[in-house]
């Protein structure tokens, strides 16, 4: 009995052109685990509640990162770093889930590698963008960053990184409420009073625009 309905990948198991080989999968797995560990460590290192306040300047915090303890960051800057790292962490989770699924089904192609590697970047940028939008809508300009909860902003940023498509759709809904919707382009639309009338002379040459 002919098995013509089987997928091509099953009929020709040796034909794996375009798929990531085993060595590449191992390298990407180690790289993603290292990225996840570095993202977690960075988030812990810059967590606002665990930083020491600089004496004489309550708006600056002292940061200890990878053994470096001689630099300080403003409180506002700490929140920006926190939401960016939380968004990147959500993107890393998304990447790990997607990567493991494609590896498990043996369908990981090289064309999907850039997409997976860019998800943490998209998560960090999206988390920062959402922080700006929510900060402008939920907090007044006179509110200090010390009054904001880092758990709330970090949770939103992490969700943005994990569900980037839904987050973009939410931003699109906000944009529709703030901005005027772009009118649909209708090239065939004319006002009835100004619509040009077609020529009535049957000897009119439409191609040359002249009469015979």
Distance in angstroms (rounded) separating the CA atoms of residues 62 and 138: 28
Task: Give the pLDDT mean for 137-161.
Answer: 73
Q: Is the pLDDT of residue 1 over 90?
A: no
C-alpha distance from residue 175 to each of 109, 133, 146, 178 (Å): 35, 11, 29, 5
Tell me the pLDDT tens digit for each residue of 32-77: 999 999 999 999 988 888 777 887 777 788 888 887 767 888 888 8
Task: Give the pLDDT mean for 6-34.
Answer: 74
pLDDT at 199: 56
Contact 155, 196 (CB under 8 A): no
Q: Is the pLDDT of residue 207 over 50?
A: no
Task: Give the pLDDT mean for 75-90.
Answer: 92
CB-CB neighbours of 111 under 10 Å: 10
pLDDT at 206: 46
Distance in angstroms (rounded) separating the CA atoms of residues 138 and 8: 54
Distance in angstroms (rounded) separating the CA atoms of residues 3 and 10: 10
Q: Is the pLDDT of residue 79 over 60?
A: yes
Tell me the pLDDT tens digit for each residue of 95-142: 999 898 888 888 888 888 888 889 999 999 999 998 888 877 745 445
Using pLDDT thresholds of 50, 70 and 90, give the confidence band for residue 173. Answer: confident
Tell me the pLDDT tens digit for each residue of 3-15: 445 454 444 444 5
């Amino acid at each position: 009995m002919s098995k013509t309905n089987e997928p091509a990948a099953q009929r020709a198991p040796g034909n794996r052109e375009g798929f990531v080989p085993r060595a590449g999968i191992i390298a990407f797995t180690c790289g993603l685990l290292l990225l996840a560990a570095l993202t977690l460590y960075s988030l812990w290192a810059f967590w606002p509640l665990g930083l020491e306040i600089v004496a004489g300047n309550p708006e600056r915090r002292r940061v200890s990162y990878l053994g470096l303890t001689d630099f300080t960051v403003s409180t506002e800057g700490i929140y920006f770093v926190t939401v960016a790292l939380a968004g990147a962490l959500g993107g890393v989770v998304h990447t790990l889930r997607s990567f493991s699924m494609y590896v498990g089904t043996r369908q990981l192609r090289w064309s999907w590698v850039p997409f997976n590697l860019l998800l943490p970047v998209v998560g960090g940028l999206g988390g920062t963008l959402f922080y700006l939008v929510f900060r402008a809508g939920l907090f007044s300009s006179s509110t200090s960053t010390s009054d904001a909860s880092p758990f709330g902003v970090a949770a939103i940023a992490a969700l943005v990184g994990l569900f980037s498509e839904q987050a973009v759709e939410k931003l699109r809904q906000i944009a529709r409420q703030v901005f005027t919707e772009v009118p649909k382009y209708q090239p065939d639309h004319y006002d009835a009073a100004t619509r040009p009338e077609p020529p009535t002379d049957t000897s009119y040459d439409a191609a040359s625009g002249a009469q015979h």
